[in-house]
Amino acid sequence: MENDIKLFYNLTAEKTADQWYQEEMLMPTIKEFISLLPKNPRVLDFGCGPGHESMRLSKVGANVLGIDFSEDCIRIAKERCPQCRFKVMDFRNLDESIGKFDGVFACASLIHISPDELSKVINNIRDVLKINGYLAITVVDGAGINEEWSLLEVEGKKLNRTVYLYTREKLVEEAEKVGLQFVKEGYLDPKISEYGWKNYIFKLI
């Protein structure tokens, strides 16, 4: 299953970049998040894909490191967004050498984390956040798995890109265990939120 997810993002990296480098839907969400951080903040784009939102984070003043386990996504990110830094990294096993951040932007990345691994991944995020740093998590609301979005065919290959659903209550419960306080539900463009996407903002106290 993990290999299917990585293969999916490797196969679709170029197409995703072509679409999302042009798409500004998340810019208001990014501006709201950056407004909470100090000037010229250090931000970790957590599951950055081919770097489209890293580019926008940089555009509004952030010093960005993007991480993703898809080698093709990171290759394209480095080509298209040279003003940011990128590393191939599985965020379930963060390398502490990346340091600490004023903010972590986790957009559509935790949707591939199973409930069994969620606590570990949120704790990983906590470990790289500075005190009073902020975390933005964008997920699909609900519980269980979205089967329709998970089972896909790409270039003739049938893949299980498992998409897990999470409620605000579940995320708050896991975040509070490691000292992350829920701040508010952040803004999302209606064209995104109508599909059940939610953006939640937390602060490390």
Report how far apart, in Å, the C-alpha atoms of 83 and of each of 2, 58, 75, 77 are.
Answer: 30, 8, 14, 10
Q: Which fold has domain 2-33+41-204?
A: Rossmann fold (3.40.50)
Asked if 123 contacts 140 with a C-beta cutoff of 8 angstroms, the reply is no
- Reported as a single tens digit per residue, the pLDDT across 35-88 is 999 999 999 999 999 999 999 999 999 999 999 999 999 999 999 999 999 999
End-to-end CA distance of the chain: 35
Please check the confidence at residue 3 and state whether its pLDDT lies above 90.
no
Radius of gyration of the chain (CA): 16
pLDDT band with cut points at 50, 70 and 90 for residue 157: confident
C-alpha span between 125 and 94 (Å, rounded) = 9
pTM exceeds 0.95: yes
